[in-house]
Structure 1
Amino acid sequence: MIQNRLLKNFLKNAEIKELYQSYLEKPTARKKELIEKLFKIHGRKIQLLSYFSQTLIFESQKFDKKIRQNSKLNQLILDKNVDGGSKLLDLIPDEQNLHDFEFSTPVESCKLEIIFEDKQLYEIVSRLSAKQKEILYLLFVKDWTEGELALALGVSIQAINKIKNQALRKIKKEYELAKQNIKDKN
């Protein structure tokens, strides 16, 4: 039984195995030279494969290191504040067609307060910024999606979501505060 892995792999080829068996049965110098020559070729192939494998590993590690260094040096920080206190992420528009949606005028969003019968809610909503009123009006009255609104305004969905959440938190906070004041008076 052959223990050497290199020799086992060499003898996997049926023609070489047949030649080797023939040599063992009737050894000749010609067969021996042929087997030795084929074994040297097989050894060279193994060496080349090993070399290429090590080269690929080395080059891939080198490439990975270069990419990591480059990404460290050239970080894109989307949470960084830019002009006016807004974040860079808020300024990135989504990549869809803008002409699919009709955009309302700011005058239309002023109607937002009118839909409230509750006097306290009316007063709270009337104190929101024009942008907040407009976004809430289009989202909840006109039933636009955040994506459609982001496209129409040319900002990211995250920016729309942020403004919406700020407005809703403000409304909730002021409404609860107003309810508490009424409760305290009684």
Structure 2
Amino acid sequence: MDPLVSEFYRHYPHLQYNKAVESFISQTENRKLVEDFLRHPSASKEERLNEAFKAYYFDIRFTSYVSSSLYFHSVNFDKKIRKYSERHPLTLDDRVGEDGGSYVELVPDPASEIAPFTNYSTLMECLESEELLKAYKTLTDKQKHVLDLAYVQERSDTEIARMQGVSQQTISKTHRKALHKLKSILEKGES
């Protein structure tokens, strides 16, 4: 054991196994205070040593308090989030069928998914419903072309407008009218 530390513990035997005191003495500036007090003891040096130890011990306790407080707050936060997740699961996390799978497993991966109409050039080639096909044939050529670009080539109204050299509002109006016409024909059962 260090002679300075041995001397200190000879004067204060009740502090010998105290980890905080050992840690305090191991720091250079505190070691100088202890050495100065042991070489030339006085009430003012003892008071300075006590004040330094109180400040050091406060820092230890404060750090310990903050650390444990953060730990318990994080544990409580985790419990709170877990409880909320169990009570309010996302719709995609709900269980489906007997196998126990979830809806999220049924969602296709867009990276591996091929565009639905890549093998077709017009919407008419894609339609399987006879009623919808007859209704589609009643549209004007302009309406058919806008629907082909929108649904087969997956273009936005803005892209279609740029391609045709007209305003986006014109394409949007044509698109909307074509869909409305198809809807009304299908609802009435006309073709």
TM-score scaled to structure 2, two decimals?
A: 0.45
Of structures 1 and 2, the one scoring higher in RCO (CA 8 A, sep 6+) is: 1
Instruction: Give the greater-gyration-radius structure (CA).
Output: 2
TM-score scaled to structure 1, two decimals?
A: 0.46
